[in-house]
């Protein structure tokens, strides 16, 4: 059949509204297209081959083959009515959308024109400092409180901008020491620099610092009422704007690539500020107990924690490594300086992607002569508590910690002390199995990070885990007298982080140390200077190493130690 034989065809599966003519060989796809074709006699006449437009339309009936059916059937009157109604609604909706789009276009064009007008007008606004005002004193936000009600000038980076009405804008300034809300009014917010001011631009703002009215909030409870300001360096806008480089939902790889910008944020900068205070607190602690700080070399030719994690390099034709630990060098200082410590970088070529591992980290290490193993445990516990108390006693640092880690309180109770053998029993009693075979842990197993974390988090207290078997610890750790299977060794485990300190007594007998070298397959020749410590007046001594990033992750409740390093280094990341 064809259109000329009184039928127009619709095939919901094979038809086409764009190329169909209504014939059986070229049907429409939708009923509404057929209806519209019938209502357009000129189109139908052309399709049917008739020259009489009044003759073509009345003779046509719509035949439809619905999806999933094999035969054409006549489209009912109710279906035609329903299709027409739907089409009318669609037309009205399209018309309304077109009208709204036109209105939006006009509004946007008007807005753009108004913004352009203001922009051009702003170029004629020239700001000058009022020479009759008192000379402004340069200050930082750190001493803004004591400089209230006097004319000052503050320089910094624009953390945020908020425009209120036509003649007022609020600029929150960040200078590294803190934040200061600044209020710009009238001509001050009509200049070209004001109209185009972007986040992270650097500015200098002059005026008086006033307490904010009751009920209003601002950093430190005051704001700078500006009388003059100037741009020092304008940050880009549009695609290159600071806020377009990353956001809270960005992939971690993006955040690490943009780390130089990420650290400008309040959270990242707070962690780094707490880190600064923590580093100082460790030094103050060691100074208070009479330890001397030393600076050992980071380029070495010996190993401390196993050769598989050494970064090697060519040192003028000789093999050398980046230090894994400064422990051996600290031990050489005991006869001349007594108890010593260092705050230096250590390096581990360990292809580990866990949230508590870094390839480069800040290592707080100490060595103490003439002590017992119990003295060592007491010293580690006291150090951690004392450092926390020191930073907690600083109001600004405490405020940052409380914001980063709500609910944190310094520990006052004694740390839990647990032997390795008891930890094995605890894991088995609580159904925590070995990952590799699903069996119970056995004495001699090196407890992996995940089971260790589960135990620490369940106990939810700091744990001094002691007396590890010799084969799973470093060569320099001595066996205990009562049980030669285990060593005088300790790891300090913290909830939510795991191990943050590793320590032990050190083998102080010359022959026993030589035997340890042999057992580990180490050539003692490069360690001649270390062995000499046992030859020229040896003594019982011990020490420890603490990872500053892990300590910070615990203190500030960070998910990964990578957030506690300025520019973290780990497998696959060595920039920026």
d(CA 216, CA 142): 21
In the chain, count of helices (H) and strands (E)? Answer: 16, 20
d(CA 240, CA 1): 64
CA-based max dimension of the chain: 123
d(CA 102, CA 108): 10
Q: Which residues pair with 138 in a beta bridge?
A: 153
Residue 498, Ramachandran bin (φ over 0: left; ψ between -120 and 50: alpha; else beta): left
d(CA 167, CA 186): 5
Q: What is the mean pLDDT of each run of 10 residues along the chain (576 residues)?
A: 66 90 89 82 53 49 88 87 85 88 88 82 91 96 94 97 93 95 95 94 97 89 96 93 90 94 95 98 98 97 81 95 95 97 95 90 98 98 98 96 96 96 96 90 92 94 96 93 95 94 96 93 92 96 97 96 96 93
Residue 287, Ramachandran bin (φ over 0: left; ψ between -120 and 50: alpha; else beta): alpha
Neighbours of 464 (CB within 10 A): 21
CB 199 within 8 A of CB 161: yes
- Segment holding 457, helix H or strand E: helix 449-459
Q: How many CA atoms lie within 13 A of 450 on its CB side?
A: 6
3-state secondary structure of 472: helix
Strands 416-419 and 463-466: parallel
3-state secondary structure of 366: strand
* Helical segments of 308-419, H only: 327-337, 373-392, 395-404
- Segment holding 38, helix H or strand E: helix 31-38
d(CA 358, CA 349): 9
Here the tokens at position 461 are 């207290």
Q: What are the residues whose beta carbons fall under 8 Å from the beta carbon of 491, sequence distance 6 or more? A: 464, 465, 468, 499, 501, 502, 503
d(CA 357, CA 353): 7
Q: What are the residues whose beta carbons fall under 8 Å from the beta carbon of 105, sequence distance 6 or more? A: none
Q: What are the residues whose beta carbons fall under 8 Å from the beta carbon of 99, sequence distance 6 or more? A: none
CA distances from 532 to 173, 331, 424, 503, 527 (A): 58, 11, 38, 22, 9
Q: What are the residues whose beta carbons fall under 8 Å from the beta carbon of 135, sequence distance 6 or more? A: 151
CB 186 within 8 A of CB 218: no
Query: Of 276, 358, 419, whose CA–CA distance to 560 is shortest?
Result: 358
List, in sequence order, every beta strand (DSSP E) within 456-540: 463-466, 489-494, 498-505
Strand order in the sheet with 73-74: 7-11, 61-65, 73-74
Position 59 scores a pLDDT of 61
pTM (2 d.p.): 0.81
- The alpha carbon of residue 466 and the mean position of all alpha carbons in its chain are separated, in whole angstroms, by 34
d(CA 547, CA 356): 10
Query: Of 388, 363, 197, 353, whose CA–CA distance to 281 is shortest?
Result: 388
Lookup result for tokens 């290159």? 240
| Angle (CA) 98 102 103, round 5° | 120
Here the tokens at position 326 are 């400064």
Lookup result for tokens 């057929």? 34
Here the tokens at position 334 are 């005991």
Position 53 scores a pLDDT of 39
Neighbours of 78 (CB within 10 A): 8
d(CA 543, CA 490): 10
Lookup result for tokens 């190993």? 303
Cis upstream peptide for 87 (omega within 30°): no
d(CA 271, CA 314): 36
CB 333 within 8 A of CB 341: no
């Amino acid at each position: 059949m064809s259109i000329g034989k009184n039928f127009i065809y619709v095939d919901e599966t094979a038809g086409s509204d764009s190329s169909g003519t209504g014939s059986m060989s070229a049907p429409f796809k939708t009923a509404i297209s057929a209806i519209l074709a019938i209502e357009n006699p000129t189109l139908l006449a052309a399709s049917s081959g008739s020259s009489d437009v009044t003759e073509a339309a009345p003779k046509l009936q719509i035949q439809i083959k619905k999806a999933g059916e094999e035969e054409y059937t006549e489209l009912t009157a109710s279906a035609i009515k329903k299709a027409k109604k739907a089409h009318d609604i669609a037309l009205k909706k399209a018309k309304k959308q077109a009208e709204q789009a036109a209105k939006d276009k006009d509004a946007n064009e008007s807005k753009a024109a108004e913004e352009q007008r203001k922009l051009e007008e702003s170029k004629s606004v020239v700001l000058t400092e009022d020479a009759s005002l008192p000379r402004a004193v340069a200050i930082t936000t750190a001493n803004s409180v004591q400089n209230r009600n006097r004319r000052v000038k503050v320089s910094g980076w624009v953390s945020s901008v908020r425009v209120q009405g036509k003649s007022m804008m609020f600029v929150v300034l960040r200078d590294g020491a803190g934040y200061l809300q600044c209020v710009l009014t009238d001509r001050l917010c009509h200049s070209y620099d004001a109209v185009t001011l972007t986040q992270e631009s650097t500015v200098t703002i002059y005026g008086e610092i006033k307490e904010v009215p009751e009920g209003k909030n601002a950093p430190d409870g005051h704001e700078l009422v500006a009388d003059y300001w100037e741009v020092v360096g304008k940050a880009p806008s549009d695609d290159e704007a600071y806020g377009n480089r990353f956001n809270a939902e960005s992939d971690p790889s993006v955040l690490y690539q943009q780390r130089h910008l990420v650290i400008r944020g309040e959270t990242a900068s707070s962690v780094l500020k707490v880190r600064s205070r923590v580093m100082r607190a460790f030094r103050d602690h060691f100074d208070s107990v009479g330890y001397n700080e030393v600076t050992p070399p980071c380029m070495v030719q010996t190993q401390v924690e196993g050769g598989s994690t050494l970064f090697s390099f060519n040192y003028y034709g000789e093999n050398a490594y980046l230090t894994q630990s400064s422990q051996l060098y600290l031990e050489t200082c005991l006869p001349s300086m007594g108890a010593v410590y260092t705050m230096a970088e250590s390096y581990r070529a360990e292809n580990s992607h866990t949230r508590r591992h870094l390839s480069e980290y800040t290592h707080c290490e100490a060595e103490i002569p003439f002590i017992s193993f119990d003295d060592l445990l007491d010293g580690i516990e006291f150090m951690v508590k004392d450092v926390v108390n020191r930073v907690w006693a600083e109001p600004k640092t405490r405020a940052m910690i409380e914001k980063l880690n709500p609910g944190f309180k310094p520990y006052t109770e004694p740390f839990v002390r647990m032997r390795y053998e008891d930890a094995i029993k605890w894991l088995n009693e609580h159904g925590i199995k070995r990952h590799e075979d699903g069996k119970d842990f056995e004495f001699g197993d090196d407890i992996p990070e995940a089971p260790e974390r589960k135990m620490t988090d369940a106990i939810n207290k700091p744990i001094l885990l002691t007396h590890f078997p010799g084969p799973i610890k470093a060569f320099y750790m001595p066996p205990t007298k009562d049980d030669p299977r285990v060593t005088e060794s300790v790891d300090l485990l913290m909830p939510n982080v795991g191990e943050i300190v590793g320590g032990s007594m050190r083998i102080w007998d010359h022959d026993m140390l030589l035997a340890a070298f042999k057992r580990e397959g180490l050539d003692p020749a490069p360690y001649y200077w270390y062995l000499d410590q046992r030859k020229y007046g040896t003594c019982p001594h011990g020490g420890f190493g603490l990872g500053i990033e892990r300590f910070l992750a615990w203190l500030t409740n960070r998910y990964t130690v990578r957030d506690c390093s300025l520019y973290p280094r780990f497998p696959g990341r060595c920039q920026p």
